Amino acid sequence: MCGIVGYTGTREAAPILLDGLSRLEYRGYDSAGLAIRNGTELARVVKATGKLKNLAEKTDNGRSLPGTCGIGHTRWATHGEPNQTNAHPHVSGNARRSASGPVESDVVGVHNGIIENFEELKQKLLNNGYQFYSGTDTEVVIKLVDYYYKKYKIGPVDAINRMMVRVKGSYALVLMFRDYPGEIYAARKDSPMIIGVTGEESFAASDVPAILKYTRTVYYMGNLECARMIPGSVTFYDLNGDEVQKDTTEITWDAESAEKGGFEHFMIKEIHEQPKAMHDTLNSIIRDGRIDLSGAELTDEILQKTSQVYIVACGSAWHAGMAGQYVIEDLAELPVRVELASEFRYRKLLLEKDALVIVISQSGETADSLAALRIAREKGIRTLAVVNVVGSTIAREADHVLYTLAGPEIAVATTKAYCAQLAAMYCLALQMALVRGRLDPERYTAMIEELLTIPDKIEKVLEDKGRIQWFSSKFANAQDVFFIGRGLDYAISLEGSLKMKEVSYIHSESYAAGELKHGTISLVEDNTLVIGVLTQNDLIEKTTSNMTECKARGAYLMGLTSYGNYSIEDVADFTIYVPKTDSHFVGSLAVVPLQLLGYYTGVARGLDVDKPRNLAKSVTVE
């Protein structure tokens, strides 16, 4: 959600921080701020509400804030309304406004996450003479560090460690101390934080794109770790204050992957990158015509003895899990339950000891999914992470990891990462079916061959985007849109509906087509747009019948089907076709027109499709 960037080195910090924050805008935010130190001078703090450009204008693109050490933040409001006072950075003193001059405070910091016991901590600090100027939990944690720092006359690391023992919740915290010029301190619990080093420079960030322009060598901070950064060097500490040795990770993807590359928006660029995301993910798993899960350390024996599968995820990843459920159950004849991570963590599920819990997350940092993973591990249940970010928390904590190779995804509304997740689920389903004796080797080989054709077929779908753009402009002022389908088509409808509501702000819902008569059809009236997904040949007639019922009540019908099913045109007012493929894999093709439909509708409405209001790319708080 919020974005953090820190820098200490030999160059001017403010322009670097602004540049880094601009690369994190996709995470969603409502205000931004900088704190800069120039040698031994006091920190100067500047904040602005709204877009990052407001902060850049306020600081003359950073030129009005000289100094080689600083921290920056983009805030997505949780505690306290989105205004300048509540914007980060926060200070340990009692400043009641954004300062353009030096700040008389011993500690200045920024924070991602939620402090659950901040009210209790705030009362403790009030009792010790502290005053508060904001409505944020962040100000509380900054002042708590200051309290321990002064009361026990200890160094920054010890003060931060005392804070970590006392605080409940999640946080990525970056701090500067008045007595330690040129140094930055970081702490982490359940919110992502990376540290990058190169030459005489050190960087902190909540996500890789912020610093990829400057270094590819990064450390992933562990849970309940603290870090001390000086120019060109970083030292890590555990809760006891003992040094922790860590290995660096080299970021392999190109910085250009995080740029628009000539496209108007990141979202349309990433839609066009889906053939590559699918190709790269498949070819990382399929070798010599067979699925090889050795990279995830998933043996045939493990898959054979798996008695039940639980797929746990949020948002679009949950929709990928829904598609995976249909494919695994049909091919492997293995019972599958798909659970929302936010519900899984609070239910008393009776997990079988030989179950496999699959956690799907693009970022590998999704708070609810991470909590669900930990619950499964506490119960002794085997876990598999399907994630896109190497070294992410979910990847590190799962028993097995299957990486999707979608590359960096910048637009808030996921497209290519979802596509890659489907690829991973197909491969898991095929291998489970083979080792469980539910799929003969000949069909297994044929299905893998067909699966490898999907990237080229996605390219074919993208060639028809002009028609979808025309249709989107026709219905850009719609008030309600309903997506319907059965079986796998219902799973794809869920994702199509989410894309529509995320980026166009049109009220959109998805329903299993057979449920229309159980209440939903009462909402259908003249010119209501109803989109039917009809790719499962054994279910087309039934879904077509449901669409006809909607048409009789005045609905305008769009049909989405495979080439050859031309009878759909007898019912639908507008029809989109995708290439034929195995019915288990067709969702990877059918979802693309729905992504384009959402995108072009949002563009036609003049909206910021890359950064929809109130949304964040990685939901790292509950």
Catalytic residues: 2, 617
Q: Are 113 and 191 in contact (CB under 8 A)?
A: yes
96-103, Cβ contacts within 8 angstroms, sequence gap of 24 or more? 96/133, 98/33, 98/45, 98/46, 98/47, 98/48, 99/44, 99/45, 99/46, 100/44, 100/46, 101/44, 102/41, 102/42, 102/43, 102/44, 103/35, 103/42, 103/43, 103/44, 103/45
DSSP state for residue 143 in the 8-state scheme: H
CA distance 351 to 310: 9
Place of tokens 């599968």: 309
178-205 burial code (b ≥16 CB/10 A, e <16) = bebbbbbbbbbbbbbbbbbbeeebbbbb
Q: Please give the helix or strand (H or E) that residue 465 lies within, else none.
A: helix 465-474
Q: Do β-strands 400-403 and 382-387 pair in parallel, antiparallel, or remain unpaired?
A: parallel
Closest CA to 579 of 563, 559, 595, 561: 563
Q: Are 375 and 351 in contact (CB under 8 A)?
A: no
Contact residues for 289 (Cβ-Cβ < 8 A; gap 6+): 445, 448, 449
Closest CA to 161 of 236, 72, 71: 236
The torsion defined by the Cα of 144, 146, 152 and 153, in degrees rounded to 10, comes to 170
Question: At residue 621, what are phi and psi to the nearest 5 degrees?
Answer: -125, 160
C-beta neighbour count of 346 within 10 angstroms:
11
Closest CA to 404 of 383, 384, 390, 394: 390
45, 91, 101, 107, 150 from 42: Cα distances, Å: 10, 12, 9, 10, 18
Output the CA torsion sign for 356, 360, 366, 369.
negative
CA distance 387 to 347: 24
CA distance 181 to 176: 8
Output the CA torsion sign for 189, 193, 198, 202.
negative
Instruction: Evaluate the omega torsion of the peptide bond into residue 209 and state whether it is cis, within 30 degrees of 0.
Output: no
Output the CA torsion sign for 73, 78, 83, 86.
negative
Closest CA to 484 of 413, 539, 526: 539
Q: Residue 238: left (phi > 0), alpha (psi -120 to 50), or beta? A: beta
CA distance 288 to 295: 15
Q: Are 447 and 330 in contact (CB under 8 A)?
A: no
Q: Are 581 and 327 in contact (CB under 8 A)?
A: no
